[in-house]
Amino acid sequence: MVFVDQSHDQIRCVKDFLNDHGIKTSNILKRSDSEAYELAISEFKAVKKALRHMVPFLCKKEIEGRGALDYYEGRITGNDLVSVFQTEVNAGRRENHPHKVVLDVLYTRPEGDRIMRRLRSEKFGSAFGRFRAKVTIEDFRRIREEYFDLGKDLVDLIENYPKYSKETIRRILGRDRGYVGVKGIGRVDTTDTTIRDPRAA
């Protein structure tokens, strides 16, 4: 969310209002054209909080502010929000900024967020299967037993299991990213030092 005004005092008032309500903002910046000042809120939760606090005091932008808040809180779809903005353009209360890409957002913000998380998870799972180093169940078990039960150090394990990289062995031990690909099983979280059988992970 970005606020723009030619008056530094106006932008300062907005910044003070937001900061007084616990909303973190950027510093006030002068735009490159030197004709206006701007203030930004970058965190999504902070944007919603700002809208909740500001909407009761808005005049010119009240309809747009309420529409944006309704979208963020899941009461209307993205297409509904675009309609709100277009209505304001038609009424002469909002500048018309043509889009090169046709916007078609069928979902509310929370619905879209859930869909994107699912797609990212599926994409990650696919990439994991293609690119993550995989270890055998037997090697997984032996490496952990040698480290946790027999006290061998990382250098010994790297030497004893040259087919695996240092990073892979660290992941097997839960010392790196906390998961590893195991043949026949897939992703196994390894941060539990009691795990000996990856099928129990």
What ranges do the domains of the chain cover? 1-51, 58-131, 134-200
Query: Quick check: 173 and 156 in contact, CB under 8 A?
Result: no
Q: What is the pLDDT along the chain (201 residues), one digit of tens a residue?
A: 999 899 999 999 999 999 999 999 999 999 877 789 999 999 999 999 999 999 999 988 899 999 999 999 999 999 999 999 999 999 888 888 777 788 889 999 999 999 998 887 777 666 555 545 588 989 999 999 999 889 999 999 999 999 998 988 988 888 766 678 888 777 787 776 667 777 766
Query: Quick check: 77 and 107 in contact, CB under 8 A?
Result: yes
Token pair 């969310």 is at which residue?
1
Q: Distance (Å, rounded) from C-alpha 4 to C-alpha 29? A: 10
Concatenating the DSSP letter of every residue in 14-76 gives: HHHHHHHTT------EE-TTSS-EEEE---HHHHHHHHHHHGGG-STTHHHHHHHHHHHTTSS
